Structure 1
Amino acid sequence: MNTRVDDQYKSFLDNWDRGFVDTEEEPEGYWMEAEFGQIPMDLHGTLFRNGPGKFQIGSDKVGHPYDGDGLVLAISFNNGSAFFRSRFVRTAEYLAESKEQRIMFRGTFGTQRPGGPAQNALDVVVKNTSNTNVVCWGGRLWTLFEAGQPYRLDPSSLETEGLETLDGQLRAGLPFDMGSAGANEAFGSMISGTQQRLGNGPYMPRELLAAEFEVAAKTSFELDGFAFLHDFAITKNFFVVFQNPVTGRSWLLRPLLGSCFAKCRNAHPAVDNVPYVLGKAPAAACVRWVAGKPTLLHLIPRPGRTDAQGLPLQPRTFTAPSLFVFHHANAYESEDGQRIVVDSIHYESLPAVGREALAEQQIDPDVAFRSRLRRVEIDLRTGMLQIRKQFDQYLEMCSINEARSGRQHRFVFGYNSVFQPDNDVQIGIAKVDTVTGTAALWRPGYQKFALEPKFVGRPGATKEDDGWLLTVMFDSGTQDCHLVILDAQHLEAGPVASLKFRDPVPSGLHGCWSSTYYGPDAAPAQ
């Protein structure tokens, strides 16, 4: 446990941790009822969410919540009704541990096999929990984990169909990251990134055609040094990659952590990976923050893109002050193509992931509570960067109207808290106007935590914020969980509807929206 955090945050963390609760899956599903308000009649489609959902196997407990097995939730909306279903992802590791009723694999963030270092030494393969994200594209549903291959699920039943190879385009065992569904729709191709786990292969963004799932194009780009890549942004002409100033011995971390800690060459040699190899520490403990080292911003040309003279665009790298980024909201190019704008969540240094993992590597134990939405503007003519704060409160899990992905946007959504000294223990939703610099806020109340918001546009909408925000909210005091529907244009008015889950659902990580209804054909009994 990271006990170094300031006392004003400890009550918040205690309540936050209660959201990681073991739950039973609901494969048959059920119709949800609105405890408050009414489900909009024109809200049509399916919200998918993924996250860790199993934190104990037999008598063994995972060492960190993010090492839990992936649980996929699906809430399908049609004609004012909502149907809920959930299933665990049947990874090979999940099936093996379920059969043996014990932990058999090491986790990325803190889980060890029982028996101490002797049972973990020299085991440098981390468990594929398939718990980080879920993407629905071209009628297929994938669950993602950055250190392993994706799994394919049936989007209607959520049954696991097996490892995904994209019809042979993805080599077995190759870690795989995927761009947002919004970016996929906006550009007409699926945007993804892979990188080699072994050897000297580069980080490789690629684009696939939706109908045939054939690789339309791919790009190879090698990062110099070490990196921690969880997300990347996309513009009309570029992939945008932030290389955070962290270090690790790439010869060891490549086979261990896959694309979560991306393959790079000439890695910093002054990191002690021996505790991991000897079975004494988790893989994530190999990462160190390098104080004072700049952050590098890489613009990697998308295939076939040319400049005004018709010549192929070349990769460019820019230097920014030292900062750390997990998540990007969006990126776009100015109309004249001479500026790149990137809105992201910035940390001043390496943040913890929960309390346990990365705690000892931090130079500032409270930095995780000071993330801010900032805009980076890159002048392609001068090479100069400008960084300005967009919102002066904590913000994370940022999102936009995904129809604006890769294009100029105005609004950024995310979850927000103020962490006041009087222990204002709650997380609400913020809508930041990047033009006026103002923000609309919804606060759910004491001990209530709203999770990653997903924007769903209203049919026929002509305004960027005309639609709803969907968020799963849990009450750490009662363990009740709700699906909350908010009007994005009137956020401060509170929920349009609130639907209670029959049993608690754990705090997930990331999700996606599909305009396809994947619920049952029969309507609920009135």
Structure 2
Amino acid sequence: MAETAGSATTPPVRNNWLEGPFAPVDQEVTVYDLEVTGSIPDDLDGRLLRMGPNPVDPENPVTYNWFTGNGMVHGVRIRDGRAEWYRNRFVRDDQVVRSRGLDPLPGPEQLGGGARYVADNVVNTHIFPHAGKTWAFAEAGVLPIELSYELECLARSDFGGSLNGSWTGHPHRDPVSGELHGMTYYHGWEHVSYQVLDTTGTVRRTVDVPVHGRPVVHDCALTERYAIFLDGPVAYSDELLRQGYAFPFMWGFEYPTRWVLVPRDGVPGDVVSVEVDRWAVFHILGAYDLPDGRVALIGPSNSRMFVTDRTGPGEVPGSLNLYLIDPVTRKTEVKILDDQPQEMPRLDDRLVGSKFRYGYFSGRDQGVSTLIKHDLDRSAKERYAYGPGRFGMEAVFVPRTPDSAEDDGWLMTYVTDMSTRTTDVVILHAQDLQAGPVATIHIPYRVPIGFHGNWIPDAELEEQRKGLGL
């Protein structure tokens, strides 16, 4: 019906996390023999994989939150200086299965305690190699999903029945033992669970830590002595759930925010809680023990989140903070290292739990997407700008050789170009960002901005399988 003069229309509700570089893609594709500009380093032999939300059906833009979209995995296979293929695949949760008319995934129907896995089992957060397999991970009560080498979904898993009811979207690997450590939560729990997944793919240790409410615990940190998580200030809200919000968590102004230090080899009674100013820290660059008994922890931080905007992070500009956590005085000293907003921190994974010097971040500089490198010992930083209309994602550090020094290696990331609706995989030498990419792999499709991923060398998977006698 045509509008009459003077009639008003209601403008459509907008949600930035469903538009532009975040907008979902509809199709699964496979492309072989990708075009390359420059020269891919000969020592790179494996897959650069990443994961992110890609809602399969139209969502209510009022209640949709970026954290809750169906998962999609993206991957580029590199060997002998060539980019052999690019693939993207939906992670087959229950909603994807219904929408696409697919067969349900095999695997357990129940978590520890007899409860069925969380509605639709949306897995959208991270990809890890472990126990000779490739895994898609998420948190808050969903089951991990095993992937094939070519990124097809194989099965849900509860790690052979050893999972206690929830896993994490952001584990960290101990570089000495090869085990994965994570903090797990679920809105029905009144605790956070520290879990250690051994190299066979079995949870060998669980420590349940009581908390004041039902906080989001996306990330954690390891030192030689402790596993650490932030209790608060973003916590579960029954009221938001009743209102239909996909991510029913909000800023708790009265929540007693604290760092919780769980001794890695202690007993539950040894857990220490340390007061801290109210900061939201969704991602942690790293942490390490100091000689005086304190812990140094560095991470992008927000002074407020999910107060007025329930669709995604970024309500107020963030900063990069250093937290000096004292388990004796139970106090935390906070220092702002950089007031430029930045996120998705990565370091050299060989240094998880130890003193590190360098960190790599995604940021914006006057509206331009940038890769930021911090030299924390010198309080210095460098930037590499991807260019107008181009949006970089989390950059993964890959050592040039197994025994090369920290920062001597490659930074690899996906960069979405909104002017061409294509994507590049950019490979830079971490010690010479200003020289630009040593190689750029061209993908003729757009990869939406997502969450996390890893470079998975074929040799790493083979070593894990060999260790299991496979």
What TM-score does the superposition give when structure 1 sets the normalisation length? 0.75
In structure 2, list runs of 5 or more residues that go unmatched.
1-10, 103-116, 462-470
Whether the 8 Å CA contact 1:71–1:89 is kept in 2: the answer is: yes
Letter matched to residue 182 of structure 2:
S
**Could you tell me how far 1:298 is from its partner in structure 2?**
0.8
1:17 maps onto 2:20 in alignment: yes
Aligned pairs for 1:222-261 within 5 A: 222-249=210-237, 252=238
| Structure 1, 162-171 or 439-448: larger mean CA deviation | 162-171
1:160 maps onto 2:153 in alignment: yes
Aligned pairs for 1:474-513 within 5 A: 474-513=416-455
Whether the 8 Å CA contact 2:141–2:186 is kept in 1: the answer is: no
Partner of 1:315: 271
Distance 2:68 2:195 in 1: 28
Partner of 2:180: 190
Distance 1:148 1:225, change over 3 A: closer
Letter matched to residue 374 of structure 1:
N
Partner of 2:7: none
**Could you tell me how far 1:403 is from its partner in structure 2?**
0.5
- 1:78-127 deviations in whole A, cap 9, x for unaligned? 22112322221122221112229xxxxxxxxxxxxxxxxxxxxxxx9644
Aligned pairs for 1:436-451 within 5 A: 436-451=378-393
Partner of 1:46: 47
1:213 maps onto 2:213 in alignment: no
Whether the 8 Å CA contact 2:65–2:247 is kept in 1: the answer is: no
1:374 maps onto 2:321 in alignment: yes
**Could you tell me how far 1:442 is from its partner in structure 2?**
0.1
Distance 2:269 2:384 in 1: 43
SS across alignment from 2:209: coil
Letter matched to residue 401 of structure 2:
P
- 1:46-105 deviations in whole A, cap 9, x for unaligned? 221111234436x999945544321111222222112322221122221112229xxxxx
Distance 1:150 1:517 in 2: 27
Whether the 8 Å CA contact 1:289–1:350 is kept in 2: the answer is: no
- 1:227-251 deviations in whole A, cap 9, x for unaligned? 22111111112111112224545xx
Distance 1:202 1:225, change over 3 A: closer
Indicate which of 326, 344, 365 corresponds to 2:282.
326
Percent identity over the alignment is 25
Size of the aligned set, in residue pairs, is 433
Aligned pairs for 1:329-344 within 5 A: 329-334=285-290, 336=291, 338-344=293-299
| Structure 1 outlier segments of 4+, above 6 Å | 59-62
Whether the 8 Å CA contact 2:183–2:229 is kept in 1: the answer is: no
What TM-score does the superposition give when structure 2 sets the normalisation length? 0.83
1:388 maps onto 2:328 in alignment: no
Partner of 1:428: 370
Distance 1:387 1:282 in 2: 33
Partner of 1:281: 244
Larger RCO, structures 1/2 (Cα 8 Å, 6+ apart): 1
Distance 1:295 1:326 in 2: 13
Partner of 1:464: 406
Letter matched to residue 340 of structure 1:
V
Distance 1:20 1:510, change over 3 A: same
**Could you tell me how far 1:455 is from its partner in structure 2?**
0.5
1:405 maps onto 2:365 in alignment: no
- 1:282-340 deviations in whole A, cap 9, x for unaligned? 1434523417x5521111112348xxxxxx98211111112111100111112x36121
Distance 2:99 2:231 in 1: 36
Distance 1:391 1:89 in 2: 36
Whether the 8 Å CA contact 1:204–1:218 is kept in 2: the answer is: yes
Letter matched to residue 244 of structure 1:
G
Distance 2:181 2:152 in 1: 25
